[in-house]
Structures are given as structure tokens and as C-alpha cells.
Amino acid sequence: MASGTITSSEYITHHLTNLTYGNHPDKGWIFAENGQEASEMGFMAINVDSMLWSVGLGIVFVWLFAKIAKNATTGVPGGAQNFIEMIVEFVDDNVKSVFHHKNSIIAPMALTIFVWVFLMNLMDLIPVDWIPHAAALAGIHYMKIVPSTDLNVTLGLALAVFILIIFYSIQQKGIGGFLAELSLQPLGKWALPFNLFLELVGLIAKPISLALRLFGNMYAGEMIFILIALLPFWAQWLLSVPWALFHILIITLQAFIFMVLTIVYLAMAHDHH
């Protein structure tokens, strides 16, 4: 176990704790030294490591795709251009198969979601001790490097999708049409309160399910890597490599599911009943 003298419980807790900065009621604006201080900061706190890694990976995505697009050739493409084109075509095919309306934003947004979530998930394949240990040498107590294991990040992504759902529902149907959709189906005007309850539950469940599905799968995968790191060295290699190979499928699948559900929800927002 790379944790040295600390107990297994302390090791797990350390690796699952974010670097949090916020306004503590007694100490003012500080970096939390433990989970209790972070919880005491309440809403006025930010998980700095999640923000740094998620924004950083977003910048990597934009830089990489912009560079490939700038150097793209109509002749025989290189390996990098061929790979990027394959991803773009894959996303475009999924958008065309699900979204049957005219909206120039949907395909670029779907591409952004797929690649960005994939990159955030991909950080789970980095050995769990490497970067936290390097951060500790620099005097940083905590450093979680997988943004999608932070519920704040997945809820933030889902909230952005939810806002778009509301926006396009009102844009396409008008405020009256949107309210009628919420209150008059599935049982008609005589069951308006019941209809409204059902539709509101279904509407709110969309972002919550998006966020919790991604968070739950990635958090569980990270936990397994941490538990494997607690085993003897020979057992770590015996178990971590097969789990990492299997986890490649998980991180790709979760990015794909988040993208497809976003397209489906936005297509439903454009549909008229």
C-alpha cells in the first residue's frame, strides 16, 4: 500500500476528498484541511481540483480539435486527422439517427459532451497514487483528478442540459404550449393536477438521472482502483491491469450514454404533441 503509515480507512478517505476552497464560518476563506471543514463551508465552497482538471481537459479538447481542423487536408489524412474525423462522423451519425429537427447547435454540443466527458473519465486510468503523491510533495493535501467522480461536476453538466431542454421546449412550442404539454397529458384536462405531477417528476428526473448515472459509475470505478491499491504489490498488478482494460469500456460507454440521452432529451423538447 502506497499510503505508508496511515490506515486503510484514512487512505480511502484521503483519495476520495476534494481540494476544497471556501468561506469557513470560523476561519474565513481557506482551503479545507479535512472533510468536516469542507462540509462546514456549505454552499460558499468550490472543489478546486475538479474545476482545474475539468477546465484543463476542456482546453485540451478545444486545442486538439482546433489544431487538427486547422491542419486538415483534403488528401490522404494523417493518423490524428483520421482519428478525429472518425469521432466526428460517429457523433454526427448518432445525432442524425435521433434528432430529426433543424438545429445547428446539437451536433457540436453532442461532440463536446462526448469528448469532454470521455477525457474526464479517462483520468481514472492514471494510477491513484501518482498525482496525489506529487501534490503532497508540493504541500497540497488533497487532489482528486477525475472530475466525473465529483457529483458537483456531473450535476453541473446535467443542469446545463436541463436549461437547454427548457429553453428549446419554450422556443419551439411557446410558453403556452410548454405548459399545456406539462398539464394536459397523459390523461387530459380533467386530471390536470395529476398530469402536472407526473410530467414535472419526469422532467426533473432527466438531469438527476444524467448526473447520478455518470457519477455513480465513475465513483464506483475509482473506488475499486483505490481498493486494489491497498493490496500487496503483486496483487495490484494482477488485478489493476484487467480492471483498467475493462474500465476503458466503462468510461467510453458512460460518455456515449450521456451524449445520446442529451440528444434524446433535446429531440423531445423539439417535438410537438
Domains of the chain by residue range:
50-270
Q: Cβ(259)–Cβ(265) under 8 Å?
A: no
- What SS3 string covers 131-184? HHHHHHHCCCCCCCCCHHHCHHHHHHHHHHHHHHHHHHHHHHHHHHHHHHHHHH
Q: Which member of 8, 82, 97, 209 is catalytic?
A: 209
**Percentage, residues of the chain above pLDDT 70:** 98
Q: How confident is the model at residue 131 (pLDDT cuts 50, 70, 90)?
A: very high
| Residue among 155, 260, 168, 142 nearest 209 (CA) | 155
**What's the pLDDT score for residue 78?**
77
| Residue among 175, 199, 178 nearest 187 (CA) | 199
**What's the pLDDT score for residue 77?**
74
Angstrom distance (rounded) from CA 13 to CA 3: 12
Q: Which member of 54, 169, 217, 240 is catalytic?
A: 217
**What's the pLDDT score for residue 174?**
92
Q: Is residue 213 annotated as part of the catalytic site, yes or no?
A: yes
**What's the pLDDT score for residue 190?**
79
Peptide bond into 242 cis (omega under 30): no
Provide the 3-class DSSP secondary structure of residue 199: helix
Q: Is residue 50 annotated as part of the catalytic site, yes or no?
A: no
**What's the pLDDT score for residue 186?**
75
Residues β-bridged to residue 20: 47
Mean pLDDT of 125-140: 93
**What's the pLDDT score for residue 270?**
93
Angstrom distance (rounded) from CA 5 to CA 7: 7
C-alpha 72, offset from chain centre: 29
Burial (Cβ within 10 Å: 0-12, 13-18, ≥19) of residue 150: buried
**What's the pLDDT score for residue 44?**
80
Provide the 3-class DSSP secondary structure of residue 122: helix
Mean pLDDT of 198-209: 94
Summarised one tens digit per residue, pLDDT across range 17-49 is 999 999 999 999 999 988 889 989 988 899 999
Summarised one tens digit per residue, pLDDT across range 71-115 is 887 777 778 889 999 999 999 999 999 999 999 999 999 999 999
Q: Is residue 209 annotated as part of the catalytic site, yes or no?
A: yes
Angstrom distance (rounded) from CA 236 to CA 53: 26
Mean pLDDT of 163-180: 94
Residue with more model confidence, 193 or 63:
63
- pTM of the model as a whole: 0.93
Asked if pLDDT for residue 199 goes beyond 70, the answer is yes
Q: How many CB atoms lie within 10 A of CB 241?
A: 11
Q: CA of 213: how far to CAs of 28, 185, 216, 221, 226, in Å?
A: 35, 27, 5, 12, 20
Summarised one tens digit per residue, pLDDT across range 212-248 is 999 999 999 999 999 999 999 889 989 999 999 999 9
Average pLDDT score, the chain? 92
**What's the pLDDT score for residue 1?**
45
Asked if pLDDT for residue 137 goes beyond 80, the answer is yes
Q: How confident is the model at residue 2 (pLDDT cuts 50, 70, 90)?
A: very low
